[in-house]
Structure formats: C-alpha cells, structure tokens
Structure 1
C-alpha cells in the first residue's frame, strides 16, 4: 500500500504557507487583504479539480512520476510566488483615488498570478491522491485534513520563533521531504537540488517590507529612531519605538496653556503589526496633563470615585485617575503584552511603581467582580486588541451598569476624526444597554462630550439632573470641548467650538455653512428620540451577536460607497474587499460547476445524479466553513485572542474531521452513517446556538489551559460528525461514475471560496447566530441530496 505521508506533508505545507501569507499581509499591509490569500488558495484547489476531471485518464497514466514531481513543482512555485508577493508595489490607499486605482488593480492581479500556481499544484496533488486511491477515499481525506491541521499548528509555533517575513521559506522544506518519501533516488536528488536553489533565490531576491502607509513607517524612519524591544508571537509582531515623535496619545484641550497645565509627556510607542496600540512611559507615568484632557469629564461629576479602568494605557490611565481624585483604581488589561508591561515593564520602559490605591486584575473585563463608582474605558482600549470590541456591546455595557454604585457612570471613548457615525453606534449600544438594565427613558441617562477628534459617551446609572449637566457644561466650556448631548440641554444657539460637519455617501459634498456644525448633536437627538437617521450607514447597536463597530456601510449602499470610496476609512474598506472576493468566488463557483458539464464526455453520469452532486458538495463546502467561522468568533472571546481562537478551532476541527473521515471509510451502511452524522452536527449546532454565549461567559475566568481544553472538548463531537459527509459522498457518488470524484473535490473547493467572504458579510450584517443557522441548513440540504440507493 502506497504511503500517504507525502499527502500529509503537502496538505501541511499548503495550509502553513496560507497562514504565513495572511500574517505577511497583516504586517506589511492590512489584515483585511488576507482574504485574498484564502481566495487564491481555494481557487487553486477548485481549478485543480476541474483539470483533474478533464484529464483524469492522463493523470492516472503518469501518476508514478507526478506523485513525487508535484511537491517538487510546488516547492519551486512557492519560492517564486513568495518573491513575487514581496516585490509587489501594491498600495491600498491608492485604491481610493480614481487616478491611481488602475495600477493597484494590476498589482492585485499580480498577487493572484504569483500565488495561484502554488495552490493549484497543491490541489492537483490532493485530487490526484483521491483518484489514485479511489478505493480509500476516507483514508485519503483523513490524511489531507490531519496534515492541514498539523501545518496550521506548525505555522503558529514558528511565529513564536521568527518574524512573519521568514515563515514561508521555513515551511517550504516540508515539500522536499514529501518528494523524498514519494520518489526514488532521482527524485530525492531533485528535491534537494530544487530546495537549495529555491531557498537561495528567496533569500537573494525576496524583499518583504512594511508598506509606507502603515502607521509605524514614518516614526520608524525619522532620525535617531530606535526599536528598543521586540516581541514575536502569533498575536503579532510587537515593536517598542524610541524617537522624538512618540507622545502620549490623549485628547488635551487647546486651552491647556492658559490653564497652566503641561502638555502630555514624551513616551515610547508600542506597535503591533505596524499599528500603534499604546504609549509606554519613559520613567514613571506622568499625569500633569490630566485635568485638561477629554478623558477627565466623568471625574468632574463624581467625587473620589472607585474606578474600574478598562485598559491601563501603559500605566498612564491609573496615574491620570489618581491625579483626578480617584480613591482606588482597578486596572484590567486584556492585551497580554500590555499587561506584562504594567506588571514587569517592557524593554527600556519600566513598570509603574506599586501603589496601594492601584490593583491590576487578571480577570476578563466582562467578569470583573466588585462595585464601582466609575467604569472608565481608556482612550486606546478599543484599538489595543481586537477582542476589546466586546466591551462596547449592549450586553457588556448593561453588565457594567449593574456594577455601579448610586450616582455611578460608565465612560466610553470613540474616535470621530474619520466618521462621526461610529459614535452614534456606541450611543445606540448605550441606549440598548440601559433598556436591558430596565431603564424606561434612556435619553435621561446619557451625555456626550467631544473634542474635534474624539468623543466620550457617559452612561449614568441614575438620570442626569440639572446640577450635573451644569457641571459638565462648565467643564466643557473651560476646555473648549463641545457638549453634544445632555438631558435638558438646548442645542439651538449654542456655540460650537470644534466644527464637525456631517459625512454622507449620498452627497458629493461635505455640508458647509457659515457657522460651525455638530453632526453628533443632530444624530444623538434623533437616536435618543427613537427616530435615528436613515442613510447608507448602519446605526444599530453593537451586540454580543454582532460585536463589530465597523463596517458601517450597509450592503444596499455599496454603490454609493464605491462612488465615495475616497472618504471611507480603512476599516470600511474591508467590507468592499469582502464583496469583491465574494463576487469573484461566485463566478469561479459557476465556472467549476458548469464547465465539466459542457466538456464532451467528461462526466458520463445521469442528469439526476449530477443535480444531486451540485447540491451535495457545494452544501458541504459552504456549511463546514460557516460553522467553523462562527466558532472562531466565539473562541476568540473565550480565549481572549483571535489568533489563538482561530488556531485552536482550525486545528481541532481539521484533526477531528480527519479522524471522522477515516472512520467513515469503514462503515457498512453509508446512508445511515451520513444521516446519523448530520443529526449529530445539527444537534451540536442547536446547542451552540442557544448555549454558547452563556458557556463562554461562565468560563472566562478559568485558566487559559482549561478554556482551551473546554473548547477542544466542545468541538470534538461536531467536528468528528462533520468529517463523515464528504468522504461518504465521494465514495457513493463515484459509484455512479469515477469522473465525479475530482469534480466533487472541485465543487467543494469552489464553494469554500464563496463561504469565507459570505460568512464575514453574513456575520457582520445579521449576526453570528445566522452563521450557525445557515451552516445547519447546508448540512440538512446535503442529507436530502444523498443519492438514492440502486435497486
């Protein structure tokens, strides 16, 4: 029996390189462009299946040399593709300028040209193994999935040891090993020679770099800039910068000088994957600027508060709170590198000196015990870690409200320099939170204060009375901040210090007038009155089921978004990337579905069987990824880290699905086994649909290892069940015609391309629950499409 270890290594290398390329885009460009890698990979797999359908007999005749030859070809293609990717001059900012967009579209096409050959050859190698071992479909599929899971783990472990720009060269040797095992002496020599030549070319010609538009680029290239510390992990590449441009990023009044208040201090800048996530102190954190900052607003309303600070801002937030009169500060810092900096320092930045009035809590923000007068979110909290977004969901804000003492409040920051509507979504979440807390009239419990660039939503346990509104007005007036909303505050005739005109996709011009405007004031009044504005932007509350503040553009307004793309911020471009990838994926899926049907003699099976196959295999490709992506989002909250959540869900589902596929190869009654597997998968999905949120919240304070074990234990049954349908279907459908086997592989791959962008759009637009529900529908459809038994 021929060894399937080469297939295991090929699958591992393909998935490992795919993950490595997504990390490359995150560091060198924006993480949104990692969708392209997934799209290119699955496109390669899908096209390879079509080619195998059309040339099945020829591939079988030459399988003896193709089995070792394909990994050697992959090795060369992988090295060439990596060189091409790193030399690509793509600049995403130029996509937003019609004059420069055409050149960037060419660069996107060059990414596809560079990477497609590698993934096409990988798909060809896998589909050839299916054809050669047609009698062992379950075993082949199992080795494929187990190899893919192992490759994912290998890539993630390597991230602890090396920079993402070195990951692809580090993973390519797996292909040489595959060729050595699959072939004879000549292939062994060829594999070693190609490996040496490829690695030499990669290190001589590849030029991975951080693009000029990344926030780290300018400070990294100012005179005398130094990287004083670096941390490598799957979460990202952390770099601590020392240069004259790095200052504490806080919103301070223009009147600070006349108030006799010092400017914010110089700091180190901490960057993750090229984006600044915090300022770290050069000595002990200074708070001389605190009284002039926008963040001081709630401290003007509460005397000597006990504070729960979400995010430590490198130690500055606790120092500021104490300077503003806090009696005690409990700091919760979910981001692990920032938490380590608070406790032990980072590089040249020392840890803040111990203070009996300050406690650093390891609890998750959603499970911190105790009662507080103020729950105060640090200004950089939302940008410091992807998972921090869950703290501004309506459910999270309602929990914080439940922890307040009488007179207490929650203070939530949001940037408005790009789109004021982000503040409106936070305000909508605050309104929903107050309703969850049993407040009949939320409009009496919120106030909004802002500068030109940032805003604070203050959510009070008790209604704002006239005295508090007057104190807040005086605070804003002294510092030239704008009080955009407070109960009973008249908007008409009020002087606006910081002009904030509304931004609209429907208009080609920003509204201008003689007087300064306050777009947030207009929006807040409408929202809290129950009549929110309706246009291209989504103003619904952020919820646990839809925990994303962006994108804001409604799918129905994509045309307007494309017409005004130059005004959209980076976080909105991800939506357009998703839609573009989805459109491309749908075209590919149609081609893969229909092309073999028009190739004379390629598929010699009855039309009813083709119809069932056109339902069965696309449903599996869609269903598996829809369920997987939903679990990845829940796992990210459970583990406090998207990368860990992604890695553990991907590995667990691939490994247990691989075991299920191997088990499927030995069942005596495939139809009954399929129905049982689908019932198990549907039952697990229903349990997750109604119970996953509560289970995650209940486990958030467990040790990380226990949470990871819980996740694996919860995913094992459904993953095992999901491993059955594909090999069972391959085996059953090929009985109608051997040519169906590679076509089925192509269909599964093509609709997997569709699944990733579709899942992102569906999750952001409708919620995570809809992903699970859609996945369940797909598997039910597959069960109904199972071929009728022959009489």
Structure 2
C-alpha cells in the first residue's frame, strides 16, 4: 500500500496546480483563458501516454530511479513554468488588432512551452505507475483519482488564506514529499535541495501581476488610491477601493442639472478578481439622483409599488426605490459578500440603517414568495455574480409574471455600449416568458427605454395602454432618453436623442447617415413577433437549459467573427478561445489515435482490438467529462456559486470514482460489472435529464450545508459507477497486448482535451440536456466496444 502514496501526492499536486493556474488567469487576465490550462494539462497527460507506449520497456527497466526522479523533475519544471507564466507579456486586447496579434500568438505559445513540461511529467509518472503495477490497475487508478480529489480540496482550502498568486508555490512541496517517500536517503536530500532552490527562484523571479486591461488597473493607479478592505476566498479576491474616480455607477440623464437633480454620490468600488461588481456607500446611501436615472422608468407608471429588488448595491438600490415612491422594498442579494455588506457593512462601508419599509430576504431569486407590483433587477446585478444569469432566463421571468399584482411589471436592464444585439436577445427572452405565462400577444406587454449606454425592458402582466405609453414617453423626453419600442409607437420618424447605429459582422463598416439611428427599434417589432433577423448573431431566448446571454456569435459565422474581431466584446472572445482549443485538441486526438498504425510492432495486437480500443477509451474520456460538466452547471445553481459547484462535483466524483475503481479491481466478471456500472450511470443520467431542474429549484432555500450534503449523496451512485469502466478496460485490453495500457491512458487524456471545449460549445449552443444525453451515448458505445471474451 505504501508504494502508491507518492502517486496519490503527484496526482494531488497536478490537479491542485491546474486549479491554481486557472485562478491565476482569472485574476491576472480573463477567466476564459483558464481553458488553456485544462488543455495544456490534458495534452501533457496524452503525450505522456504516447511516450510510454513507445518506450515502455525502457521505462520499466529504469522504474526504480524514475519513480523518485519524476516528482523531483516536476518540482523543478513546475517552478520554472510558473516563473515563465508570470513573466509572459500576454495582452488579450492586442489579439483583436491585426497589427499586434502576431506577438500575442507567440505569447500564447510561450504559455504552452512554460506549462506543458509539468503536466507531461505528471502524466508520465501516473502512466509509469500503471505499467509498474499492471496487475492492480484498479488500485492504481483509485489512488490517482483519490489523490486528484484531495489536491482539489487542498487548493480550494488554500484560497481562503492565500492570494491566487501564491497558490502554485504553496502546492509544489507535495512533490518533494512524494520523492522522499519513493526513494532512499540520497533522493530525500535531493528533493529538499531542489525544493529549496525552486522556492527561492519562484519568490525571487516570478512576477505575477494584474494586466492593464482589467477594470481594477486604472483606479488602482490613480493618485491616492487605497485598498481599504480585502477578502480572499475560492469565489475570488475581493478588494474595496477608495479614490476620487469611484462613484455610484448608474445611468443618469444628461438633463439632471437642468432638472435640479444632483449627480450620483461618491462611493467605494468593490472589485472581484479585478472586475468591478458594485459600488458601496461611504456613508448612509443617498438617492437624490434617482429621479433622473434610467432605472426610475417603471416607477413613473406605478403608484407606491411593492418592489422586489434583485441586487442591493450595498443599500443604494433600496434607497433609490424608496426615493421613487416605493411603499415597501424586499431586497434579495445572492452574492454573499454583497449580502453581508447589506447586513453588516464591508470594511469602512457601513450597513444601511434599519428601515421598516425595507426587508433583506434570504430567499433565492428564483424561489422568492409573495406578490409584488414591480420586480426590479439592479443594473449591476448580471455582472455581480456568474449565477445571476439564471435570472435572465425565460423560465425565471415567466415565474415572476405569475407573482405580479394587477398592473405590475418586471424591469430588466442590459448594457448596450458594446453590442446592441444583447438587448435584442433579452427581448426574445421576454417574448418567450410571456408565451410561457399564457399571453397570446407578447408585443403588447413590452416596452423598451434606453440611454446611450444602457437599456431597460419593461414586461407587464397587462398590455401597455395608450395612457401608460404616453406617461413613459414624457418621462423619456424630459430626461433625453429614447423610447425604442412601445405598443402603437411607430418605429420610424421619431426624434432620437442617443444615436445607436447597428453593428454587423457581415459589413466592415458601421452604418452611418445624416440622422441618428436606433438599432434596437429596428429589430424589436420583428423579435416580438417571433420573426427575428437571421445573421451572424443568435437571437434565440435564454432558457433554463441554456442560461447564457453570451456568446451571441453563431458557430457558422466564426469566419466573420474572426474578420471583425476588433468589434467583439470580451464575453464573445470565450467562444473563439473554445473553438481554438477544440481544434488543437482534435489534432492531438488524431495523432494519438493514429499512433498504432505507426507502432504496430510495439503494441502487438490485432486491428479489431485496436478498433475497439479506439472506441472504448475515447468514449470514456468524452463521456465522463460531458456528464461532469453538465452536473457542475446544475451544482453551481444549487450552491449559488460556480466555484463551490465545481469544487464539490469535481472532488466528489474523483473520490467516489476512485473508490469505484478500487472496487472494480476485485470483481470476478469484468464484462458483467461493466454492463451493470454503465446501466447505473446511464440510469442516473436519465434521472438527471428528467428531474434535476425541479429538484434543484426545490432545494434552493435549504441551508447551504444541506444543499451540499444532498449534492454529495446524489453524486455518489453515478460517480461510483463511472469509476468502473476505465480500470476494467485497462485490465481487459492489456490482456490483448501489454502496450495497450499506456496507449489507453493517452487516448483517454487526448479525448478529455476534446471534451472540455466541446462540452462548452455544445452546452452554450444546444443546452445542458444535450451534454447529459451525449455522455450517456458515449458510455453505451463503450459497452458495445468491449472486447469479446476468448473461448
């Protein structure tokens, strides 16, 4: 048993460093580039399997010294790779400029060069353990998975006390311990020396920094800027800034001065991972500016409304609603740090004073009970937390329509400064919500009001009549806002205060003319009628199964997107990153898959067996991750946080799969065990396909610990079952030829590289249900590919 503890530590270090690097990209750059880390890691594992296939006999001869040497080598290259990654001058904004893109492509290649050796050696160490312990592959795979799960837990625990820039150095000592356990006294001394040298080099040479394009960079570097509070957690690095540039970020009329209305007050700026998520008050929240704000539009149509405010903005949102005439405000703030700020303050920012007209609710936004005249979504709500996107689905909006009092409405904000078509997709979602609520003529229940930068979609339970439209038009004209759409309002021939020309990927020019334009007004009638324009952008409704407002670019329009990449906002770049990683992964998978044709003498197996292996192990690599990624998305909604969902699903599935793998090593009838395991996995996936959404919604208001415990219990059976197929397959196929064992490891790794970007593209394009369905198909394919038993 002792001999596999180093494997446990190596697997833990590899997964821990992988998670730490994704956090590094989230803080220093954009989180989308964390896909590179996953790609690099799985590429390293895949290539290591290829090398082990070609040099299996040599590795076996030298295994005694390679087992302690590999973790020491990982320690050295891990430190060097971290230094290289932190010194890399990558700037993603320059990818959008043809004149500077080439240098940034070189920087991307340098990231791969810096980080690949670490994961290649990790894969080599794991595959060597499989070869050395070929008679107990279930136990080896179990230690590998259990170590990986423990490494994930350790990395997440360290995030509570360490900045993401310190995580990699903190995890590297695991490798020194692995080497010290594997070898004798000389190896122990060598491990300590290399550890000391590596840590000294890391702390002396590494220079992690926040890139200058991040939102926090400019305010951090203005004169007399101060960080007045900081919180470290797996959710992110929270920093509260105090400087003269920080003001309440709300859209106020240019006519505010003429109307005698003051500007929004100064505030603190709260940033998470370098992105601004809210303004927090310096003193008790002020709201004298509210009457000149775009957010005040629905209040012009309602008398003393009872308001459900989604997003509290440190108390500003409730103060604004009261200043606009609300009789009572129920505030729901799902983001835990912002919710805590509402209740207790944050650093020097005080908690709002108690007011009998304001209730801070602990309910989840999707399950809030009660009747309201207005469901008012805060302008910064969507950007405050990744999971807030679930509020922008047709399913959620339809649910709130059912909770409105007669005459009530929902106010949905969206930014339009980057692409107006985001607003058009919100309109398509509003139409679908009204249809789900049983309303036959959705176009009569929607109005759209906007400024130059932001837009509000008002969705009413009853149709907007002429009187209401007139009141809203007066509100807009007094503040130089534009009423882009309202029932009975002509789309053309109106004065436009704020020019909003349409943006197209099909044209290399933004339309300009002698008169101001309103790109949203052009499309609103078509979208609300159910006949949206067909071009490069996706205008389909956002749904519970596809809860993403972006990316908007359709995959068939990828060429046009690349040609016009300079006009695309950050949230669209994630699509291009996914496609690039997928293309690279497919090339790698093809290389690994075709290896047997070049090395038949090394593998010494028949073509039919190779063909079955080419189905079996890729199916497992794809199927496991497709199911895992779908479950992570559902767990993120259940727990209110993607990081918690990712951590708990990853850890639970690794640990239970590890237990399943060890169990698989003891079964007497592997073919029957495989069929039973796949039957359990497919059955659990089918149950999730049919019932996971209702189950998650039913559990949302339970205490966090109860939700987490329920998730672990739900994951246990499918994870145990998913732990069986890989070790059973390794054991069965290696009986056909010993060289198949490392090649199977390579295949599994290569198609795991394919699975991550493929799952993201499939989920965003078709929905989470398709991920579960595709995973089920993969495991059924693995059963079909199982080799026939020899007579």
The alignment's TM-score, normalised by the length of structure 2, stands at 1.00
* Residue pair 1:664, 1:728 contacting (<8 A) in 2 also: yes
* Residue pair 1:617, 1:782 contacting (<8 A) in 2 also: yes
Partners of 2:600 and 2:761 lie apart in 1 by: 38
Partners of 1:530 and 1:690 lie apart in 2 by: 28
> Which residue number in structure 1 is paired with residue 696 of structure 2?
696
CA RMSD of aligned residues (A): 0.6
Partners of 1:194 and 1:665 lie apart in 2 by: 36
- Are 2:28 and 1:23 equivalent residues in the alignment? no
Partners of 2:466 and 2:533 lie apart in 1 by: 28
> Equivalent residue of 1:685, what SS?
helix
* Residue pair 1:50, 1:596 contacting (<8 A) in 2 also: no
Partners of 1:517 and 1:427 lie apart in 2 by: 19
Q: CA deviation at 1:3?
A: 1.4
Partners of 1:502 and 1:525 lie apart in 2 by: 15
Q: CA deviation at 1:661?
A: 0.2
**Structure 1 segment 534-683 matched on structure 2, within 5 A:** 534-599=534-599, 601-683=601-683
> Equivalent residue of 2:602, what SS?
coil
Partners of 1:688 and 1:611 lie apart in 2 by: 32
Partners of 1:325 and 1:84 lie apart in 2 by: 57
> Which residue number in structure 2 is paired with residue 67 of structure 1?
67
Question: Per-residue displacement from partner, 1:289-321 (whole Å, max 9, x unpaired)?
Answer: 000000000000000000000000111000000
* Residue pair 1:53, 1:596 contacting (<8 A) in 2 also: no
Question: Per-residue displacement from partner, 1:166-194 (whole Å, max 9, x unpaired)?
Answer: 00000000000000111000000000000
Partners of 2:341 and 2:317 lie apart in 1 by: 13
Question: Per-residue displacement from partner, 1:687-708 (whole Å, max 9, x unpaired)?
Answer: 0000000000000000000000
**Structure 1 segment 247-286 matched on structure 2, within 5 A:** 247-286=247-286
> Equivalent residue of 2:367, what SS?
coil
Partners of 1:223 and 1:413 lie apart in 2 by: 33
Partners of 1:771 and 1:679 lie apart in 2 by: 18
Partners of 1:385 and 1:459 lie apart in 2 by: 23
Partners of 2:251 and 2:603 lie apart in 1 by: 66
> Equivalent residue of 1:408, what SS?
strand
Question: Per-residue displacement from partner, 1:708-750 (whole Å, max 9, x unpaired)?
Answer: 0110011100000000000000000000000000000000000
Partners of 2:492 and 2:780 lie apart in 1 by: 58
> Which residue number in structure 1 is paired with residue 466 of structure 2?
466
> Which residue number in structure 1 is paired with residue 725 of structure 2?
725
Q: CA deviation at 1:2?
A: 5.6
- Are 2:359 and 1:363 equivalent residues in the alignment? no
In structure 1, stretches of 5+ residues that fail to align are none
> Equivalent residue of 1:602, what SS?
helix
> Which residue number in structure 2 is paired with residue 509 of structure 1?
509
> Which residue number in structure 1 is paired with residue 409 of structure 2?
409
Partners of 2:328 and 2:349 lie apart in 1 by: 24
The alignment's TM-score, normalised by the length of structure 1, stands at 1.00
> Which residue number in structure 1 is paired with residue 214 of structure 2?
214
Partners of 2:529 and 2:631 lie apart in 1 by: 37
Partners of 1:597 and 1:677 lie apart in 2 by: 32
> Which residue number in structure 2 is paired with residue 485 of structure 1?
485
Q: CA deviation at 1:451?
A: 0.3
**Structure 1 segment 154-173 matched on structure 2, within 5 A:** 154-173=154-173
Question: Per-residue displacement from partner, 1:122-156 (whole Å, max 9, x unpaired)?
Answer: 00000000000000000000000000000000000
Partners of 1:491 and 1:523 lie apart in 2 by: 9
> Which residue number in structure 1 is paired with residue 456 of structure 2?
456
* Residue pair 1:597, 1:603 contacting (<8 A) in 2 also: no
Partners of 2:467 and 2:402 lie apart in 1 by: 24
> Equivalent residue of 2:493, what SS?
coil
List 4+ stretches of structure 1 deviating above 4 A.
Answer: none
Partners of 1:61 and 1:210 lie apart in 2 by: 47
Partners of 1:598 and 1:528 lie apart in 2 by: 58
Question: Per-residue displacement from partner, 1:209-265 (whole Å, max 9, x unpaired)?
Answer: 000000000000000000000000000000000000000000000000000000011
Partners of 1:686 and 1:518 lie apart in 2 by: 46
Partners of 1:493 and 1:12 lie apart in 2 by: 65
> Which residue number in structure 2 is paired with residue 195 of structure 1?
195
Partners of 2:98 and 2:361 lie apart in 1 by: 49
Q: CA deviation at 1:407?
A: 0.3
Q: CA deviation at 1:492?
A: 2.3
Partners of 2:374 and 2:99 lie apart in 1 by: 50
> Equivalent residue of 1:468, what SS?
helix
**Structure 1 segment 30-109 matched on structure 2, within 5 A:** 30-109=30-109
> Equivalent residue of 1:732, what SS?
helix
Partners of 2:270 and 2:556 lie apart in 1 by: 38
Partners of 1:107 and 1:469 lie apart in 2 by: 54
- Are 2:333 and 1:345 equivalent residues in the alignment? no
* Residue pair 1:139, 1:665 contacting (<8 A) in 2 also: yes
Question: Per-residue displacement from partner, 1:498-539 (whole Å, max 9, x unpaired)?
Answer: 000000000000001100000000111111122211100000
Question: Per-residue displacement from partner, 1:352-404 (whole Å, max 9, x unpaired)?
Answer: 01000001011100111100000000000000000000001000000111110
> Equivalent residue of 1:289, what SS?
helix
- Are 2:113 and 1:113 equivalent residues in the alignment? yes
Partners of 1:222 and 1:595 lie apart in 2 by: 56
> Which residue number in structure 1 is paired with residue 397 of structure 2?
397
> Equivalent residue of 2:201, what SS?
helix
Partners of 1:443 and 1:756 lie apart in 2 by: 39
- Are 2:450 and 1:445 equivalent residues in the alignment? no
Partners of 2:534 and 2:497 lie apart in 1 by: 27
- Higher alpha-carbon deviation: 594-603 or 279-288: 594-603
Q: CA deviation at 1:17?
A: 0.1
Partners of 2:146 and 2:622 lie apart in 1 by: 20
> Which residue number in structure 1 is paired with residue 712 of structure 2?
712
Partners of 1:67 and 1:241 lie apart in 2 by: 49
Partners of 2:70 and 2:492 lie apart in 1 by: 73
* Residue pair 1:54, 1:596 contacting (<8 A) in 2 also: no
Q: CA deviation at 1:466?
A: 0.6
- Higher alpha-carbon deviation: 528-537 or 273-282: 528-537
> Which residue number in structure 1 is paired with residue 142 of structure 2?
142
